[in-house]
Amino acid sequence: MIRLAIIGYGKIARDQHYPALTSHGGYQLKAVVTRSGGAPDGVRCFADTAAMLDAMKGEIDAVTISTPPEPRYDIARQCLDAGLDMLLEKPPTTTIGQIQELAAECEKAGRVLFTTWHSQFAAAVEQARDALKGKRIAAMRICWHEDVNKYHPGQDWVWDAGGFGVFDPGINALSISVKIVPGKLILDDTMLRVPANRQQPIVAKLKLSSPVADGPIEATFDWCPTSEDEWTITVQPVDGPELVLRHGGSEIEIGGEVHAPTGLGEYPGIYAEFARLVAERRSQVDYEPLRIVADAFMTADRETAPPFEWRKT
């Protein structure tokens, strides 16, 4: 039984992390850290990480860190100093340097570090990876379109430095892409549209290539769709039927035929994997999706979009 604390017990933790770890059966939630208050019955609640670590010393083995990205590195260092294993929500940190340093320190200390990318655990992603194994890519198209008002209502942190803007969902698409494409993805060109009153993009258009691709790999992330949400990745192999992942990787179609997904699903898969890693005393650190986003911010052409204001309900 892994005695766990969740740091950042907000909507995602309540809706996804807590049900997944509870259904797994191998975890005991001992404490949560949240500024808004509220915890499951029998679980201690703290307003800050330091107070929780001090009060729960010797009573927890691991932490889930599901805060917004900007403070994660500092929180993770506190937890490392406390001798705890760690599961980090995506993206694990705001910079590559931070996650590299954290991984090195966890290795030296013998602590387990798991950088989760929840979309990689979507129910059909492993099937897509298996279907594309050893194949060359003729063309690939990524469309990740959703309404920011629906998924981040009033959350200004997504527009601040370190908030990632439209890459907050877009990095999910990239995490699936680096999982299923049998070769490294290289960013070639980026266009970002940034609202005049915000720091982060509302639209991103990427052109990528790969040693295993003979044709274009294109991605569009859009936070202001005029139609239904879309989370679709379409891959045309050089020799083989078209593959389509829909609904964020939860559904798969190959050659026009829909296949039943075989995976556990995102957060159940994450907690099953973390239990294995803890048992084996082995870390799993992946920052390839973050590397592509960092490259995009470094090289992008930028356009100014109209000012963004939250839609009134």
What gap in Å lies between CA 206 and CA 217, rounded to an integer?
8
Q: Among all chains, which residue has been given the structure tokens 């082995």?
A: 282
Residue type, 202: I
Q: How far is CA 99 from CA 6, 23, 73, 285, in A?
A: 19, 29, 8, 8
Contact 65, 75 (CB under 8 A): yes
Q: Which helix (H) or strand (E) holds 88?
A: strand 85-88
Residues in CB range of 174: below 8 A, 6 or more apart: 142, 185, 219, 288, 289, 292, 293
Query: Which segments of 39-154 does DSSP mark as H helices, in order?
Result: 49-55, 72-81, 96-109, 125-132, 148-151
Concerning whether 90 is annotated as a catalytic residue, the answer is: yes
Q: Looking at 11, 30, 57, 90, which residue is catalytic?
A: 90
Residue type, 205: K
Tokens representing 201?
A: 């993009």
What gap in Å lies between CA 292 and CA 298, rounded to an integer?
10
Chain-centroid distance of CA 154 in Å reads: 21
Catalytic positions, written as ranges:
90
